[in-house]
Amino acid sequence: METKVVLITGASAGIGLSAAEQLINKGVKVYAASRRGGKSYKAELGEGELIHVKMDVTKEEEIAVVVAQILKENKRLDAVISNAGNGVAGSIEDTSSEEMLYQFETNFFGAVKVIQACIPVFRAQGYGKIIATSSVAAIVPIPFQAFYSAGKAALMVFMQALALELKPFGIQCCSILPGDTKTEFTAARKYTVASRSADSAYADKMKKSVGKMEKDEQNGVEAKVVAKKIVTQVLKKKMKVSVVPGIDYKLICFLFNRFPVSLRLWVVGLIYG
């Protein structure tokens, strides 16, 4: 059986790195893409190998170089995991056009660019798997992180439409929707310039809301738990279209979609308002 070849973005830490490490221990050859790169190494047992590659998901030329490298070295690509992401906090009013774009460039457009670069490869092969890391925030809107929620919602819907378009070519698509997860993502979260001003009308509420979110994240599930769900989808014959790790978050998403909108927002307001 040939070794599977997988490209994963946002693989320098957190969920991405954990997924990469779990995959190589399953005998997979993983190209772990990130802006800073890293040292490549082989699995202690088996044929698995982790190859760090430098790639900014917002730059199409860098994506093309990495995909070309993978094909040159392997003549195939079995799956792409679009996992790179960032977080920007601040009220909608306190978010500039540049800050909105910064949020969407990585979380949505970056994911789309990487996926677009891999689709022709998968079509030519007649198979391939596309996995994107969305978020429970795609279903449950988070105040003061509206553009994060919106970007993840856009990515989730994009993946559903993509699944319909690519099904005739034997290409499968899956969205992973993690809830609060303990990673370096929390410390890396940025705040909009205006939100840091004492003059902001939202300063106190934003600090309370984001503080609650960050506490939940640091008390959330380990990255390896979410990563295991990703690995399971990569290795199984038929992927699910959507996966929500954790029974509690599955229940939240199930119930949230069945409540009237006014009730949904009232509940979210109690938690993060």
Cα–Cα distance measured from residue 234 to residue 27, given in angstroms and rounded to the nearest whole number? 12
Three-state DSSP at 92 gives coil
Closest CA to 174 of 136, 129, 119: 129
Cα–Cα distance measured from residue 95 to residue 143, given in angstroms and rounded to the nearest whole number? 13
Cα–Cα distance measured from residue 142 to residue 151, given in angstroms and rounded to the nearest whole number? 12
Find the helix packing angle between 261-272 and 203-218, rounded to 10°. Answer: 90
Tell how far CA 65 is from the center of its chain: 22
Residues catalogued as catalytic: 12, 134, 148, 152
Tokens of 95: 């978010």
